[in-house]
Amino acid sequence: MLKIDKYEIIQNEEFGHGGFGQILLAKDLEEKGDEKHLFVLKIPLEDKMTGEDKEIFNNEIDILRILSDIEDNKYTPKIYGFKKFDNERKQPFYAMDFISKGLLFDYAKFGKLSLRHKKYIFRKIILGLKFLHKNGICHLDIKMENIILDKEFWPVIVDFGFAKKYKNEKGEIILIKADKGTEYYKCPEMWEEEKINGEKADIFSLGVLLFSFVNGIYGFKNSKINNKLYKLIIDEKPDEYWSNFPIGELSDDFKKLYFKMVSFKPEERPTLDKILNNAWLKEVSNLTQKQDDEIKEELKAKYDTLKSKKEKNIEEKIEKEHLITRGGEDDKDSIFRNSNLKPKKISKDRLNINKAIKINGNLKEVDFMNSLSSKIIEKFGDNCYIEPSKKDLKFEVIFESEGEEEEETKECKMIIELFKYEEGEYLLEFRRTGGNIPEHYEYFLKMEEIIDKMI
């Protein structure tokens, strides 16, 4: 029996994962009663974490403890047992309620929610954020991946590693230092590394979530002033901005609300109360109990469909077909012969892997590459390091070789790059740039194992 503290792990496979470690399903061995109370354990891997990572993990525990003590809190998970990073040689962890109906991100991606469903859920996310702000906490990493639906299909906000107190004892807002977060969701002032209003930063992130939740794509990659799409928002050029998105008819109420929420100037972003009372949300603002129950039943049907898809492993996939070749486009067995995806032409003396992959919506290619680089480091450890590129979808992996006598063969290098060809379709290439072929071939096969585990 695998246990941590008083919790028994009841699922061998990871229930989830993050950059810090594992998320596992568990039960409390000391808890009595007929009803099965399930918990999620968040377990960091200390050897993979920096000092800053450990501070973030401890901070999450501190914030959740504050929120767990507030009566009638249905907006954030309740924390139970925990062990922070300290000088004691014990496994850090914390246990929180198992929130059973899945990530908002998965609903948006696979659930085919109606606009009414999205408005209904979004309105409740606003209420959750209002609860945090009322209690002096700003989240600073609001995004779809950090919203989970509970058994009543109420959106619960999770992942408080970056969260901070932003009000003093009198309830007055104080400016805070905050530059962490997710690239797509960070407000402009966070890029400048200046002190910010945490409340307004959360509202900006909520605006980004609104756009991606409703439309299935992001409205811009980041809010830096040199980003072409976001610059159109700064310059107040709505017609030019919206011409970039072939996403069907959007109401003027939605467009105006979104532009306000992601305004460059924090003071121009609306309050959460104004967002709640916006005309775009009027349809779901005063539902009867019967109407509310009907929507929950519809969401339950969506969940059942989503669960069925997951059980059949029908999700965002990386196609298993692959090609290990020393050639380029003309290889007879290329997986690209019936596709308009074409591998990059490379010289005949280089080893490469070409993989056709699918990444659906939400501009997740950067997240995919970040995850891939993390998996590579996890797999090879101290035997390799990663050299970033100026391009987001490209990096170099450098392996330290043992037993080589000649200086120029001590390092084995490969470029990993992702090319976009059509919406949702990509070509992932591993290209050898140095070192001997036999040694690289073994590394490439190990790379294949990493990719297969990401499927």
Q: Which pLDDT score, from 0 to 100, does residue 389 have? A: 67
Helix (H) or strand (E) holding 199: helix 198-215
Q: How far apart are CA 454 and CA 319, in angstroms?
A: 11
Q: Which pLDDT score, from 0 to 100, does residue 117 have? A: 94
Q: Are residues 395 and 340 in the same domain?
A: yes
Q: What is the CATH number of the domain that holds 156?
A: 1.10.510.10
Q: Are residues 134 and 216 in the same domain?
A: yes
Q: Which pLDDT score, from 0 to 100, does residue 1 have? A: 54
Q: Which pLDDT score, from 0 to 100, does residue 341 have? A: 41
Could you say which of 69, 97, 125 is where a domain stops?
97
- Look up residue 126 and give its two tokens: 């606003």
Q: Are residues 297 and 386 in the same domain?
A: no
Global pTM value: 0.68
Q: Which pLDDT score, from 0 to 100, does residue 325 have? A: 33
Q: Are residues 277 and 347 in the same domain?
A: no
Q: What is the CATH number of the domain that holds 36?
A: 3.30.200.20
Q: How far apart are CA 255 and CA 258, in angstroms?
A: 5
Q: How far apart are CA 63 and CA 165, in angstroms?
A: 8
Asked, for residue 316, whether it belongs to a domain, the answer is no
Q: Are residues 82 and 108 in the same domain?
A: no
Domain ranges, residue 130: 104-304
Q: Are residues 211 and 292 in the same domain?
A: yes
Residue where the block lists tokens 């999700």: 315
Spatial CA neighbour of 178 closest among 161, 192, 195: 195
Q: How far apart are CA 125 and CA 138, in angstroms?
A: 14
383 near 406, Cβ under 8 Å?
no
pLDDT in tens, 54-99: 999 999 999 999 999 998 899 999 999 899 988 677 789 999 988 8
Q: How far apart are CA 185 and CA 222, in angstroms?
A: 7
pLDDT in tens, 113-142: 899 999 999 999 999 999 999 999 999 999
Spatial CA neighbour of 326 closest among 422, 432, 420, 203: 432
Spatial CA neighbour of 141 closest among 198, 87, 192, 98: 198
Q: Are residues 109 and 184 in the same domain?
A: yes
Low-confidence ranges of the chain (pLDDT < 50): 12-14, 17, 311-350, 361-363, 403-409, 455
Q: Which pLDDT score, from 0 to 100, does residue 315 have? A: 33
Asked, for residue 207, whether it belongs to a domain, the answer is yes
Q: Are residues 431 and 297 in the same domain?
A: no
Q: Are residues 78 and 148 in the same domain?
A: no
Q: Which pLDDT score, from 0 to 100, does residue 369 have? A: 79
